[in-house]
């Protein structure tokens, strides 16, 4: 009888130990969104290869609060002071262990606090990635430990971005804000409604990392129906609305080339590196008066 009691106690103890071990097993949970605060919505995006002015001079001239260049590295001696740099992982080839470490070092040096995801992966002539490819690389970007912006599709409601965001949610992946590109006409109300619809769907902050007025079918400058005055009026109506929307955390106008048939009237900078009338208004709107070389 005593032997049976001992055996019974051993069985119960083994069961309890197994149950405890099972309850303590690591179970991956959804990665939480990082809480963060941004200062100054108006930004600048000029390629380091720009042919109109210089990327740093243009950024200073438009008095931006933040900027990016579609890449991961800007020379510290050229970067504007008192203006926040945001690195971007443009495509699959940029997601390397060396680049991950580099961005972490930028943060440790106080030079980067946010990360932007892939550039227009839905387009063959841009980063050209499937949703599965982007998802497979996403954990590496999460590992940086900074607030992370989604890939920016060529339009906020493309199926690509829906599939990516829905998959991130299902897999417990982290996206802290949604990056969008919006090339439109001059209807500010339709612009805002598109943003509102996206926010209603995912309840995440939005960064408009590229936007401008574009004439997609124009093959020569005279084909473009949008005059500089029309684009200026659009900007003057839209930007106050963006400032008023709490879920729009940042925006950055895309300065079209002054010789582009599609985008010339959206140029902030002319062929000599001087601000256009549009650029002057953008510069004077909620300016970063502390920016300098």
Predicted local distance difference test score (pLDDT) of residue 12: 47
Over the chain (293 residues), what is each successive 10-residue block's mean pLDDT?
48 46 37 77 97 97 98 94 97 98 96 97 98 98 98 97 98 98 98 98 98 97 97 98 98 96 98 97 98 93
Give the burial string for 125-159 (b: 16+ CB within 10 Å, else e): ebbebebeebbebbeebbebebbbbbbbbbbbebe
DSSP string, 131-197: HHHHHHHHHHHHTT-S-BBPPB-SSTT-HHHHHHHHHHHHHT----BEEEEEEE-S-HHHHHHHHHH
Length of the chain: 293
Judge whether 46 and 59 are in contact, CB under 8 Å: yes
Q: Nearest CA to 290 among 34, 73, 66? A: 66
Predicted local distance difference test score (pLDDT) of residue 33: 76
Q: Which two tokens stand for residue 254?
A: 């895309």
Domains defined for the chain, CATH in brackets: 38-284 (3.20.20.80)
Predicted local distance difference test score (pLDDT) of residue 209: 98
Predicted local distance difference test score (pLDDT) of residue 1: 47
Q: Nearest CA to 291 among 70, 39, 103? A: 39
Q: Which residues contact 17 (CB under 8 A, 6 or more apart)?
A: none
Q: Which two tokens stand for residue 189?
A: 């109300």
Predicted local distance difference test score (pLDDT) of residue 31: 55
Predicted local distance difference test score (pLDDT) of residue 20: 44
């Amino acid at each position: 009888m005593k032997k049976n009691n001992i055996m019974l106690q051993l069985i119960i103890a083994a069961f309890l130990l197994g149950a405890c071990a099972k309850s303590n097993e690591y179970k991956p949970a959804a990665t939480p969104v990082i809480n963060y605060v941004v200062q100054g919505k108006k930004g600048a995006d000029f390629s380091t290869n720009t042919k109109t002015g210089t990327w740093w001079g243009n950024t200073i001239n438009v008095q931006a609060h933040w900027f990016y260049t579609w890449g991961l590295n800007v020379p510290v001696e050229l970067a504007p002071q008192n203006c926040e740099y945001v690195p971007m992982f443009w495509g699959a080839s940029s997601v390397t262990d060396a680049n991950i470490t580099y961005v972490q070092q930028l943060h440790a040096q106080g030079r980067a606090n946010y990360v932007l995801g892939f550039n227009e992966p839905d387009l063959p002539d841009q980063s050209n990635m499937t949703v599965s490819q982007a998802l497979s690389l996403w954990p590496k970007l999460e590992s940086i430990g900074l607030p992370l912006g989604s890939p920016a599709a060529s339009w906020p409601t493309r199926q690509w971005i829906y599939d990516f965001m829905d998959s991130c949610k299902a897999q417990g992946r982290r996206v802290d804000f949604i990056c969008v590109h919006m090339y439109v006409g001059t209807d500010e109300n339709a612009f805002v409604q598109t943003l509102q619809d996206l926010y209603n769907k995912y309840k995440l902050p939005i960064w408009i990392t590229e936007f401008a007025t574009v004439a997609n079918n124009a093959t020569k400058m005279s084909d473009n129906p949008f005059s500089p005055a029309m684009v200026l009026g659009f900007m003057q109506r839209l930007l106050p609305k963006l400032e008023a929307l709490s879920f729009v955390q940042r925006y950055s106008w895309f300065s079209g080339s002054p010789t582009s048939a599609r985008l010339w009237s959206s140029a902030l900078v002319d062929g000599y590196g001087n601000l256009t009338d549009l650029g002057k208004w953008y510069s004077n709107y909620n300016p970063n008066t502390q920016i300098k070389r």
